Amino acid sequence: MAAGPARRRGAVPGAPAERGRTERMVIAKAWVLKKHFDGFPQTSDFDLKKIELPDLKDGELLLESVFLSVDPYMRPYSRRIMKEGDIMIGTQVARIVESKNPAFTVGAFVVADRGWRTHFISDGQGLQLLPSSWPESLPKSLALGTIGMPGLTAYFGLLEVCKMKPGETVLVNAAAGAVGSVVGQLAKIGGCRVVGCAGSDDKVAYLKKIGFDEVFNYKTVKSLDEALHKASPDGYDCFFDNVGGEFASVAINQMKKYGRIAVCGAISQYNDSVPQKGPYVQIPMIFKELQMEGFLVTRWNNRREEGLQALLKWVVEGKVKCHEQVTEGFENMPVAFIGMLKGENLGKAVVKV
């Protein structure tokens, strides 16, 4: 367990500190990007820093991270939006420990986008309170997974990009991951037949357990083309692609006429030092009249509440099952991140501080 902050003298745990009675600053820990990743990330690419936080001003609040998320998007985005020395990007479920902002009460939990850090100060902008209907028995870490960004990605990707219809066949790769496992279950709720693939026999067994119709281990099949054909001889109406690369190049030839492909991720390519080359998509897209669309879940930010309420309802009703890979200890953030990129997680990978 990571050490808590140095307490302010005179402060009661779980209550706002009194003004002017401060002895020591809160010391936050943060993981920074020491150097940009070259190929697959290494633990030596990260550095653990300590940061002294100032006293709160009026309108501010102090939060401590309880759960932190590690996600595939962090790999390509680190190169696009981060400089060396920046705190690693990412989201957390955090608890409010002090507040001088009347809109936020001490003890409440929020989802924040403040990167890999144990404590931080906020003016309240961008903080998302957990839904008021969140059951006490439900792990709050699910707000980083099935009832959070990955779940919303599955929800809007299927409904708005794939536009799935009852009776159709949906293919999803990286199916045991945070997004893929929800995609398959939502497709089943929508009356579809679901084919998934994953990278271990344990993952295949899990996906069958949660209702996938056909699942195969892409690492052990002799031919990906044959495995896809065997799983659905008539082809696929929808393909929810989290992987890209060779898998997508093979799968596109198994699409039905007028099929829809939602390009959500390309995890097979994120760690390439040299970009992969074709095959190319134009011929099958033309003759099968396919639609292929890339998307970011932020497109539907104005419908976030709709998605979260639907996902929360299905989870509470037992229609959507959740599995988490929980790593203990803030000091293990890089290890959890690297393990997730290697596919070591079943379901959502999170770190418990």
78 and 189 together in one domain: no
**Which structural domain, as residue segments, surrounds residue 279?**
149-298
Could you tell me which residues are beta bridge partners of residue 110?
94, 129
Residue 97 to residue 119: CA distance in whole angstroms: 10
Would residue 313 count as lying in a domain? no
Would residue 249 count as lying in a domain? yes
Here the contacts of 100-109 (C-beta below 8 Å, separation 24 or greater) are: 100/16, 100/56, 100/57, 100/58, 100/59, 100/60, 100/61, 101/59, 101/60, 101/61, 104/61, 104/129, 106/14, 106/15, 106/16, 107/14, 109/66, 109/140, 109/143
Residue 318 is predicted with a pLDDT of: 97
Residue 22 to residue 55: CA distance in whole angstroms: 8
Judged against a pLDDT cut of 80, whether residue 1 lies above it is answered with no
Residue 57 is predicted with a pLDDT of: 96
139 and 158 together in one domain: no
Residue 99 to residue 106: CA distance in whole angstroms: 6
pLDDT band at 60 (very low <50, low <70, confident <90, very high): very high
Would residue 309 count as lying in a domain? no
Residue 169 to residue 165: CA distance in whole angstroms: 9
Average pLDDT over residues 300-304: 97
227 and 274 together in one domain: yes
Residue 131 to residue 147: CA distance in whole angstroms: 10
Average pLDDT over residues 153-164: 98
Can you give the CATH number for the domain in which 161 is found?
A: 3.40.50.720
For residue 41, give the nearest of 249, 339, 344, 353 by alpha carbon.
339
69 and 179 together in one domain: no
What value does the CA radius of gyration of the chain take, rounded to a whole number of Å? 22
Show Cβ contacts of residue 245 under 8 Å, excluding neighbours closer than 6 positions: 266, 268, 269, 276
Would residue 335 count as lying in a domain? yes
259 and 336 together in one domain: no
Is the pTM higher than 0.75? The answer reads: yes
205 and 269 together in one domain: yes
124 and 21 together in one domain: yes
pLDDT band at 2 (very low <50, low <70, confident <90, very high): very low
Would residue 316 count as lying in a domain? no
Judged against a pLDDT cut of 90, whether residue 193 lies above it is answered with yes
Using a 10 angstrom Cβ sphere, with 0-12 exposed, 13-18 middle and 19 or more buried, the burial of residue 305 is: exposed
177 and 156 together in one domain: yes
> What residue type is assigned to position 140 of the chain?
K
The CA-based dihedral angle spanning residues 157, 162, 163, 167, taken in that order and rounded to the nearest 10 degrees: -120
Average pLDDT over residues 41-60: 97
Q: What percent of the chain lies above the pLDDT cut of 90?
A: 88
Instruction: Quote the tokens at residue 159.
Output: 């409904």
Residue 314 is predicted with a pLDDT of: 98
Residue 13 is predicted with a pLDDT of: 43
Q: Considering only 1-15, 261-275, 318-332, which range has the smallest mean pLDDT? A: 1-15
Judged against a pLDDT cut of 50, whether residue 3 lies above it is answered with no
Please write the tens of the pLDDT for every residue from 85-100: 999 999 999 999 999 9
59 and 155 together in one domain: no
158 and 283 together in one domain: yes
Could you tell me which residues are beta bridge partners of residue 289?
none
Can you give the CATH number for the domain in which 36 is found?
A: 3.90.180.10
Would residue 308 count as lying in a domain? no
Would residue 306 count as lying in a domain? no
Would residue 312 count as lying in a domain? no
153 and 97 together in one domain: no
Average pLDDT over residues 97-123: 97
Using a 10 angstrom Cβ sphere, with 0-12 exposed, 13-18 middle and 19 or more buried, the burial of residue 39 is: exposed
18 and 77 together in one domain: yes
The structural domain count of the chain equals 2
Mean pLDDT across the chain = 93
Alpha helices in the chain (DSSP H): 74-81, 149-156, 180-189, 201-209, 224-231, 245-251, 282-287, 304-317, 333-341
